[in-house]
């Protein structure tokens, strides 16, 4: 066994493991396929199937396997000093409904490729190196993101196991966990499984969910910051259902036009913020719909349900967006004779990624003659580890057609570029 890493040899060994990665991707895709794309709800039979398949590969590689009380999976290559804080990498198993196969899963598979490369080259790390496979990263299921990593780091209050409801079933997180065998009493009594005391660094590989790497013809990026966000996942506007031909404008309480005005004014503010130089901002209305049981072409709309998602890399931008949403809703409600019920406001703060880890990733990429780009990214589990005091950094892999849709198109060759950089960097950290 060798104690000093050879990054070039480890990178080559990672590329040699691409057939293993490709086979695992396709096996999980087939097992969790939907009418389009894949669907792996958090704490469901589908995401447990994905975990079982990754666990089988980890077992074949001779890794140590365990789970924590929340059902997060840990695959470990033991180091020479088992008491030293570990190097950790990984991501999440769950997907959005009818989503792509690589969002989250690529980070877990890349971690397994990395550990296989370390073993294949005979490198024995100084500390444990662990791949973590989490679930609940996607906010679509329970209204908040990063549930698995929040549980792993001990920042999700136990009461929320009962109050977080799954969007499609209306049932609690606790009940869905029980369905897949989670011991709720043990979970409520457990402490964090991942802490700064037992984890020295966290590296997460993820597909890029935007078009930058495609546009610049580069395979890999090193993100600088994870955008924070302000979200209203359960907003609605209540007006009055009236006859469209018999009700003059002065007597209408039109929920649709009220929401349209709110959205138009928020978009105008977004444009102003961009023009003034505020960096890396986004604004999205992911859901916008009338009541199917009530709406017709000849009724003034009496109810509109919608969501708001404001994202950025600076906290003042997010605070201003939240405050402006409340102020505009109050003003428009009075002028248009409607009521806005914005519901719970949730979100996360912007998270700068660790500069030393980013520097090491960039230096390793340079040593491998791998071009990289740097820019901000959207929310990922890495932000939770960083906020818990664990140095964290990320890699993004080029992926055509965006994400959260069935058409994700990361190539296995681009995945290999990211996986070899991840493996070589982990070896240097653990050398």
Each residue's pLDDT tens digit, 20-60: 999 999 999 999 999 999 999 999 999 999 999 999 999 99
Do the beta carbons of residue 235 and residue 259 sit within 8 Å? no
Cβ-in-10-Å burial (0-12, 13-18, 19+) of 88 comes to: buried
Output the CA torsion sign for 191, 193, 197, 198.
positive
pLDDT at 284: 96
Q: Residues 252-292: pLDDT tens digits?
A: 999 999 999 999 999 999 999 999 999 889 999 999 999 99
- The C-alpha atoms of residue 299 and residue 297 are separated, in whole angstroms, by 6
Note the residue count of the chain: 431
The residue from 293, 325, 348 where one domain ends is 348
Same domain, 65 and 190: yes
d(CA 60, CA 23): 14
Instruction: Give the DSSP letter of residue 368.
Output: T
221 and 320 part of one domain: no
244 and 341 within one domain: yes
Cα–Cα distance, 211 to 401 (Å, whole number)? 8
Instruction: Please list, in sequence order, all residues whose beta carbon lies within 8 angstroms of the beta carbon of residue 369, skipping any fewer than 6 positions away.
Output: none
pTM above the 0.75 mark? yes
Residue where one domain finishes, among candidates 326, 348, 370:
348
Say what the pLDDT of residue 365 is: 98
Q: Coil, strand or helix: which one is 241?
A: coil
Is-contact 392 382, C-beta < 8 A? yes
Same domain, 219 and 312: no
CA distances from 353 to 292, 316, 393 (A): 44, 19, 5
pLDDT of 161 above 80: yes
Find, among 306, 390, 378, 371, the residue nearest to 347 by Cα. 378
Return the structure tokens found at 142: 């329970």
pLDDT surpassing 90 at residue 202: yes
Checking DSSP bridges between strand 372-373 and strand 220-221, what pairing results, if any?
A: parallel
Domain-embedded: residue 246: yes
pLDDT of residue 214: 96
Confidence category of residue 143, pLDDT binned at 50, 70, 90: confident
φ, ψ (nearest 5 deg) of residue 271: -60, -40
- Number of structural domains in the chain: 2
Domain end (from 306, 330, 348): 348
- Residues near 101 by beta carbon (within 8 Å), at least 6 away in sequence: 25, 28, 29, 32, 37, 38, 95, 408
Model confidence at 348, in pLDDT bands (50, 70, 90)? confident
C-alpha span between 310 and 207 (Å, rounded)? 21
Shared-domain flag, residues 77 and 204: yes
- Tell how far CA 275 is from the center of its chain: 28
Do 188 and 249 belong together in one domain? no
Using the CB atoms, write b or e for 309-325: b if 16+ within 10 Å. bbbbbbeebbebbbeeb
Tokens of 373: 């780009």
Q: Where are the alpha helices (DSSP H) in 156-291?
A: 160-163, 173-179, 184-189, 212-216, 255-275
Instruction: Return the SS3 of 112.
Output: helix
Same domain, 273 and 187: no
CB 89 within 8 A of CB 423: no
Among 102, 106, 93, 99, residue whose Cα is nearest residue 34: 99
Q: So what's the pLDDT on residue 379?
A: 79
Rounded CA-CA distance 338/361 in Å is 53
Average pLDDT over residues 157-166: 96
| Mean pLDDT of all residues in 319-346 | 97
181 in a structural domain: yes
Task: For residue 4, name the pLDDT band (cuts at 50, 70, 90).
Answer: confident
Q: Determine the structural domain holding residue 402 and report its residue range.
A: 7-227+351-429
- The answer for residues whose C-beta is within 8 angstroms of residue 16's C-beta and 6 or more apart is 117, 120
Summarize the confidence of residues 388-417 as an average pLDDT: 96
Bridge partners of 308, per DSSP, are 232
Beta bridge partners of 221: 373, 396
Domain assignment present for residue 370? The answer is: yes
Task: Supply the mean pLDDT for the chain.
Answer: 96
What's the average model confidence in pLDDT over 369-395? 95
1 within some domain? no
pLDDT at residue 347, as a whole number: 83
Alpha-carbon distance 12 to 27, whole Å?
Answer: 24
Please, which pLDDT band fits residue 349 given cuts at 50, 70 and 90?
Answer: confident
CATH of the domain at 243: 3.30.70.360
Q: Which residue has the tokens 């196969």?
A: 101
| Residue 27 burial by Cβ neighbours in a 10 Å radius (0-12, 13-18, 19+) | middle
Q: Which domain CATH number covers 370?
A: 3.40.630.10
Same domain, 306 and 316: yes
Give the other-Cβ count within 10 Å of 262's Cβ: 25
CA distances to 38, 196, 262, 309, 324 from 267, in Å = 32, 40, 9, 12, 11
Residue 2 within any structural domain of the chain: no
Claim to verify: residue 370 and residue 342 sit in the same structural domain:
no
Both 250 and 146 in one domain: the answer is no
Query: What integer pLDDT is reported at residue 280 of this predicted model?
Result: 87
Residue 4, both tokens: 């000093």
Instruction: Tell me: do 235 and 371 sit in the same domain.
Output: no
Q: Is 242 within the bounds of a domain?
A: yes
């Amino acid at each position: 066994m060798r104690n000093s890493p050879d990054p070039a040899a480890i990178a080559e060994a990672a590329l040699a493991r691409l057939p293993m990665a490709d086979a695992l991707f396709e096996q999980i895709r087939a097992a969790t396929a939907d009418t389009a794309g894949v669907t792996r709800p958090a704490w469901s039979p589908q995401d447990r199937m994905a975990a079982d398949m990754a666990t089988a590969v980890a077992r074949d590689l001779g890794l140590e396997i365990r789970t924590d009380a929340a059902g997060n999976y840990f695959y470990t290559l033991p180091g020479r000093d088992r008491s030293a804080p570990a190097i950790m990498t990984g991501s999440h198993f769950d997907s959005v409904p009818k989503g792509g196969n690589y969002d989250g899963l690529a980070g877990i598979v890349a971690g397994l490729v990395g550990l296989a490369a370390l073993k294949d080259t005979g490198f024995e790390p100084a500390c444990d190196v662990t791949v973590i496979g989490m679930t609940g990263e996607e906010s679509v299921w329970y209204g908040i993101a990063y549930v698995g990593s929040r549980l792993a780091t001990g920042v999700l209050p136990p009461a929320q196991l009962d109050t977080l409801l799954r969007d499609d079933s209306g049932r609690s997180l606790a009940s869905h966990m029980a369905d897949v065998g989670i011991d709720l009493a043990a979970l409520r009594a457990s402490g964090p499984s991942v802490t700064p005391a037992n984890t020295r660094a966290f590296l997460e590989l993820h597909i890029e969910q935007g078009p930058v790497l495609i546009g610049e013809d580069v395979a890999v990026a090193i993100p600088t910051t994870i955008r924070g966000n302000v979200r209203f996942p359960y907003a609605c506007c209540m007006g009055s259902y009236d006859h469209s031909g018999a009700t003059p404008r002065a007597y209408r309480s039109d929920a649709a036009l009220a929401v349209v005005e709110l959205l138009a004014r928020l978009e105008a503010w977004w444009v102003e913020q961009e023009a003034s130089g505020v960096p890396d901002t986004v604004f999205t209305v992911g859901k916008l719909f009338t009541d199917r049981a009530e709406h017709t072409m000849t009724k003034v709309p009496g109810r509109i349900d919608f969501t708001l998602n404001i994202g950025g890399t600076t906290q003042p931008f997010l605070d201003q967006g939240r405050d402006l949403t409340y102020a505009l809703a109050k003003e428009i409600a009075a002028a248009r004779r409607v009521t806005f019920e914005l519901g719970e406001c949730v979100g996360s703060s912007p998270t700068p990624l660790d500069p030393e880890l980013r520097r090491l990733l960039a230096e390793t990429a340079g040593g491998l003659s791998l071009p990289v780009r740097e820019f901000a990214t959207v929310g990922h589990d890495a932000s939770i580890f960083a906020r818990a005091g664990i140095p964290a950094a990320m890699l993004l892999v080029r992926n055509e057609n965006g994400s959260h849709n069935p058409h994700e198109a990361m190539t296995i060759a681009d995945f290999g570029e990211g996986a070899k950089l991840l493996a070589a960097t982990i070896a240097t950290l653990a050398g």
